[in-house]
Amino acid sequence: MSVLVVAAAVAGVLIWQSLARPDTPQEAATAYLRALESGDPAAVAATGIDVSETALGAFAGASHLIEDAEVASIEQTGDAEATADVSFRLGDEDRTARLDIIEVDGHWIVGSSAFGTSTATADLGSSVSIGEQTVAVGEAVQLLPAEYAVSAAPSSLLEGSANLLVLPREDAEVTVEATALPAATAAAQEQLDEHLAECTSSDSTTTAGTPPDGCGIRIPWGTEFRAVADVRYRIEKSPAITLGATGFVADGGVLVATVTGTGTDGAERTTTYRTETWSIRGDIAFTEEELVLTAW
């Protein structure tokens, strides 16, 4: 019985939405404006406009909504086309816009002018958060008219935000000046330590005379050894990492390497080398969820 009740309720909602779809361009423009004023993504979707999940997700977290919206005039431009001149208040200013209204399946809806287009850039990270939605840096996205806080992402590693004002039919650009949080440095240091542990592990990669790549290791064994049979490393202190805009520098490490092989005189030889200036460089990138470190 409960399944039938739920099914009937869902059918009722669909029927209500169908019946509630505006039958005139005036009703379509008014329904659209009221939905924007409500801040409710479901109300926006119920107007019938072709809206993406990205736009709805961003709208759910909009920082300011339009107010005092009114339809000033309607002009019928064809059998299934009309335009509406509207006014509203947003960003502490009175504004006007022209909406295209189209007829779809016997009901009128606002067309592509329901949206503005926004492109975000950031000096750190490959994505930003707009409202409750994460979008790629440099990607043009259609958003519903409102004000949005655009924040650096991921928020657990980066901070910085900028205000974005989206208006119907208009293109907007926003730049987020992002800075790394202490958590980003900690995450990078953890990744570096894991990488250096692999560099210095006692496996087949450390038994050749050539140090592993991307580890910042240089051993001057060439003046004392004819051939190297084995290298054993011991990290006494990891290099401390400092993050830049797109890369990192890690300095001040202490590394001990014990080299075994054949000396220049042909005899077996074991020599220990120690450096207190172990350093390494590399690139960093911030994805939607994490920091990725690449050592040179």
pLDDT tens column, 162-186: 999 999 999 999 999 999 999 999 9
Q: What is the pLDDT averaged over residues 101-105?
A: 94
Strand ranges for the chain from DSSP E: 67-78, 81-90, 93-104, 107-110, 116-122, 127-130, 133-136, 141-143, 146-153, 158-159, 161-166, 171-176, 179-180, 225-237, 240-243, 247-263, 268-286, 291-295
Taking only the tens place, the pLDDT of each residue in 138-163 is: 999 999 999 999 999 999 999 999 99
- For the full predicted model, state whether its pTM sits above 0.85: no
Of 32, 200, 196, residue with least CA distance to 113:
32
Q: Would you mind telling me the total number of residues written for the chain in this entry?
A: 296
